[in-house]
Structures are given as structure tokens and as C-alpha cells.
């Protein structure tokens, strides 16, 4: 993961204006054969390097611990708070079908319109040219407005959005913990609210054979947080009492809590993969296994 650190730039030095040219991203992965090209690309190396750098950065740390919060981090949280406020301003509409509330399209249209302006509030003036490129990832990170669904591809777009902000020097090495604990965690809260409010369908879900209907990264980073925990073991996360007492400290348990709120019936039936993971002896094994699974999926 050290290969990614040079992208983040040293924390003390002021980054010189970058000689970068920006472009509006276009979809490059359209068929199965394109996957090989993606896997060999610098973009893939940067993206996975980013995920793994953050995985190390939060290892053994609680969500509630102390960490540095820079100005760009504060601005990103403000951006997410705006998205949250728009949900309140766009209540679900009455419609015959239970899932996929059409009010999501109204909410999304607002983001589509405002995304570049929102991104411009986060990046410095000399990088203003980057806003149209970076904004595409933000728009892709909240779900699909035609299908009214959300899944791990949308989550990946948000991680790519943060990765872009690192590549242009807005986020730095010493922002690592805040990227996960403050920004990504706030993103998850907003996405859960979207999923609940507009009853979004899971995108590309493998049903009972998938890890989770909506997210993947918080399970990776959340399992890293729990590595070497003195008394919480993987077998404990299926215990309701343990989850209720510790979810505010650990992202993994927050995800489990959300699943149990949204689903009924035995945990082993609705979340079979996670049930299997609870039998893994250590959190570091869980973490390594999830990273392998993420790359494969």
C-alpha cells in the first residue's frame, strides 16, 4: 500500500499547482473482456492502493478515537449534510409499488444539477478545472435514478471520488483516519437514509449469496478496526447484545445493526455469507478474506 502514499502528498508541504489536464470521465468497462484492461490499469492500482492504505490507517482504531480533521474533510462532511437535507426536502410520493419510490428521481435531479458546484466548495480555486471530472464520481455514488437502485458499484464510485481528491492533493496522508471515520461514515449514514426513504432496490445483488445488499467497503475497513481487539472476536458479531453495545465504535457492527433493522428472520438465512464469516477465527483472517473477495467481485 505504500505505493499509494506518494499520491497523497506529504502532509506538511504545500502542493505546487499541478500540471494536470482534466476530462469528463466516460464509461470504459462495458463488457467482460474490458475487465482485463481495467485490472492492468494504473487506475486499478491507484484505487486498490487507496482502499488498502486506508485499511492499514484504521487498523485497531475506534470510530470514536481522536484524529485530525482538516478543512477539506469538514467541507466534505458539509457536502454530505447538504445531500441529507435534500432527502428531508424531498419526501417519498404515494405510488402503487412498494419499492423504488419515484421521489428519488427528484432528489437525484437536484444532485445532477448541483454536483459541480458542490465539488467546487471542496477544492481550492487553482484546481477549479478538476471539478467537472471529479463531480462525475460523486453523481455516480448515490445510486441509479432510472432503476432507483443502489449497490457496491455506487459505493466504489464514492471511494473513487475520494481517491481523485487525494490524487489532486486536496486530501493528504494525515487525513487517512478522517477519510474513513468522518467522511465515509457520514456517506454511509446518508446512503442508509436514501435506501430507507426511497425503498431502493439492491443493484446487482447476489441475494443471499452476497455479503450485503448495499455495501462492501465498511466490512473491509470495519474488520481492520477490530484486528487485535482484546475481547471482540468474529463470532461475537452475531450476538445482538454485543452489537448494541459496540456499534458506535466499529463500522462493521454498525453495518450488522442496519441489516438486522432492515431484515427479518434468522441471521443465518438472510445473511448467509456474514454468518459463515462469524466462524473465522480472527479479524485479520476476516480482513484478508474480504479483500480477496472484493477484488474477485
As a whole-number percent, the residues of the chain with pLDDT over 90 amount to: 90
Going by the DSSP 8-state scheme, the letter that residue 101 receives in this structure is: -
Predicted pLDDT of residue 209: 79
Task: Classify 249 as helix, strand or coil.
Answer: coil
Could you tell me if 153 and 2 are in contact, meaning their C-beta atoms sit under 8 angstroms apart?
Answer: no
The full DSSP string for 120-151 is HTTS-GGGGGGHHHHHHHHHHTT-BTTTTEE-
Q: Per residue in 54-71, pLDDT tens?
A: 999 999 999 999 999 999
pLDDT band at 12 (very low <50, low <70, confident <90, very high): very low
First to last CA, the chain: 20
Q: Per residue in 116-174, pLDDT tens?
A: 999 999 999 999 999 999 999 999 999 999 999 999 999 999 999 999 999 999 999 99
Secondary structure, 3-state, 203-231: CCCCHHHCCCCCCCHHHHHHHHHCCCCCC
Neighbours of 128 (CB within 10 A): 13
**Residue burial 8-27, b: 16+ Cβ < 10 Å; e: rest:** bbeeeeeeeeeeeeeeebee
Domains of the chain, with CATH numbers?
Answer: 68-204 (no CATH), 216-296 (1.20.120.1150)
Q: Per residue in 128-142, pLDDT tens?
A: 999 999 999 999 999
Q: How far apart are CA 266 and CA 270, in angstroms?
A: 7
Predicted pLDDT of residue 14: 47
Amino acid at each position: 500500500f505504500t505505493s499509494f502514499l506518494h499520491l497523497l502528498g506529504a502532509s506538511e508541504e504545500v502542493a505546487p499547482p499541478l500540471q494536470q489536464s482534466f476530462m469528463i470521465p466516460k464509461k470504459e468497462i462495458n463488457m467482460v473482456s474490458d475487465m482485463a484492461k481495467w485490472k492492468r490499469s494504473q487506475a486499478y492500482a491507484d484505487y486498490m492502493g487507496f482502499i488498502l492504505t486506508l485499511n492499514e490507517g484504521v487498523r485497531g482504531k475506534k470510530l470514536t478515537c481522536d484524529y485530525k480533521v482538516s478543512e477539506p474533510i469538514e467541507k466534505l462532511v458539509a457536502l454530505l449534510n447538504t445531500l441529507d437535507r435534500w432527502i428531508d426536502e424531498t419526501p417519498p410520493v404515494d405510488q402503487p409499488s412498494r419499492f423504488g419510490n419515484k421521489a428519488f428521481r427528484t432528489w437525484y435531479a437536484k444532485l445532477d444539477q448541483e454536483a459541480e458546484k458542490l465539488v467546487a466548495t471542496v477544492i481550492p480555486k487553482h484546481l477549479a478545472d478538476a471539478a467537472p471530472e471529479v463531480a462525475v464520481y460523486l453523481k455516480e455514488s448515490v445510486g441509479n435514478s432510472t432503476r432507483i437502485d443502489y449497490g457496491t458499484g455506487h459505493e466504489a464510485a464514492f471511494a473513487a471520488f475520494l481517491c481523485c481528491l487525494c490524487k489532486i492533493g486536496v486530501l493528504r496522508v494525515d487525513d487517512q483516519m478522517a477519510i474513513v471515520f468522518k467522511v465515509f461514515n457520514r456517506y454511509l449514514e446518508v446512503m442508509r437514509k436514501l435506501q430507507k426513504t426511497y425503498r431502493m432496490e439492491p443493484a446487482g445483488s447476489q441475494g443471499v449469496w452476497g455479503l450485503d445488499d448495499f455495501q462492501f467497503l465498511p466490512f473491509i475497513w470495519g474488520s481492520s478496526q477490530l484486528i487485535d481487539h482484546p475481547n471482540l472476536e468474529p463470532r461475537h458479531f452475531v450476538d445482538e447484545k454485543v452489537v448494541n453495545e459496540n456499534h458506535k465504535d466499529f463500522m462493521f457492527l454498525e453495518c450488522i445493526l442496519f441489516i438486522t433493522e432492515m431484515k427479518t428472520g434468522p441471521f443465518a438465512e438472510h445473511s448467509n455469507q456474514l454468518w459463515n464469516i462469524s466462524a473465522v477465527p480472527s479479524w485479520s483472517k476476516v480482513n484478508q478474506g474480504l479483500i480477496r473477495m472484493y477484488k474477485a467481485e
